[in-house]
Amino acid sequence: MIGRFVKQIDREQVMVGTKVFFPMSDHIMDRGLSQRHILNSCKHSLLRLQTDYIDLYQCHRYDPTTPLEETCYAMHSLIEKGMILHWGVSQWSAVQILNALRVCERHNWHKPIANQPIYNMLNRSLEVDVMEVCEDEGLGIVVYSPLSQGILTGKYTKDHIPEDSRAANDESTHFFSHKRLTERNFERIDALKTVAADLGCTLPQLALAWCLRKSPVTSVIIGASRIEQIDENIKAVEVELTDELLTHIEKLLDNAPVDLYTGHRIGHGS
């Protein structure tokens, strides 16, 4: 679908990104972050996307079965070949990101420039150390699931799960985090709806603006299924969150990461 679209437009006017790691077939070598799989997967992606280069190619997960140097060299090699312009990671730990950066620096290879982690008002684990590492090392963060799989749209309540929602879909429900449909989260969402109303915006716009407030976060991925949702969500960039309001939201959420030794709230920028 994207390939057909890219073919019809000025390629230089869009940025195309894709990822590599998970199995693409039952073959034992058609997975992971080996040089073989990365090269073959990139070739196949270029064919499907009907383009001659990928702007951002990301390692979808960390591969403990492949030497990190092999993965880093494979990505560097793709850039040298002109098949990709940049590479990045997704859901890597702070240590894994730092190790990859140091490997690339030692060999003068192209370094990862982006990270695609999960982050939203209900899942703030990114603030423990990864967000700070990304900012210190110059990696942009492209957040996925900023609306917590639709929970932060307010469409779910403790008494109702919409029939057309992901949570009610048998084919997608194993990807849905039902553990976040808790009494406490519903209380948070009700309180946030009031904040959004006072701001003159929607709850999704507030949730997206909250993610974008952090300087390392350069963009958020919205899983829109209708054009109207896109039109609504992009207005999040117009929502202004003052320090006073952010402090109020922090009290409502009361879920910043906690240091296991001191018991104090921690988090990037806290």
Q: First CA to last CA across the chain, in angstroms?
A: 42
Give the Cα-Cα-Cα angle 214, 108, 143 (nearest 5 degrees): 20
Give the pLDDT of residue 12: 93
DSSP 200: T
Say if CB 222 and CB 208 are below 8 A apart.
Answer: yes
pLDDT by position in tens, the chain (length 270):
999 999 999 999 999 999 999 999 999 999 999 999 999 999 999 999 999 999 999 999 999 999 999 999 999 999 999 999 999 999 999 999 999 999 999 999 999 999 999 999 999 999 999 999 999 999 999 999 999 999 999 888 765 565 555 555 555 555 556 677 889 999 999 999 999 999 999 999 999 999 999 989 999 999 888 899 999 999 999 999 999 999 999 999 999 998 888 888 887 655
Q: Which of 140, 85, 83, 137 has its CA nearest to residue 117?
A: 140
Query: Exposed (0-12), middle (13-18) or buried (19+): which is 126, by Cβ within 10 Å?
Result: buried
Say if CB 92 and CB 59 are below 8 A apart.
Answer: yes
Distances (CA, A) of 200 to 14, 98, 116, 150, 231: 32, 41, 30, 20, 16
Q: How many CB atoms neighbour CB 142 within 10 A?
A: 20
Q: Helix 243-253 and helix 183-199: axis angle, to 10°?
A: 160
d(CA 58, CA 117): 11
Say if CB 97 and CB 136 are below 8 A apart.
Answer: no
Summary mean pLDDT of the chain: 91
Give the Cα-Cα-Cα angle 150, 215, 17 (nearest 5 degrees): 60
Q: Extract the tokens encoding 250.
A: 């922090």
d(CA 123, CA 81): 38
DSSP 248: H
d(CA 174, CA 3): 28
Tell me the sheet residues that pair with 143: 220
d(CA 141, CA 41): 23
Q: Which residue has the tokens 């009610």?
A: 168
Q: Which amino acid is at 247?
A: T
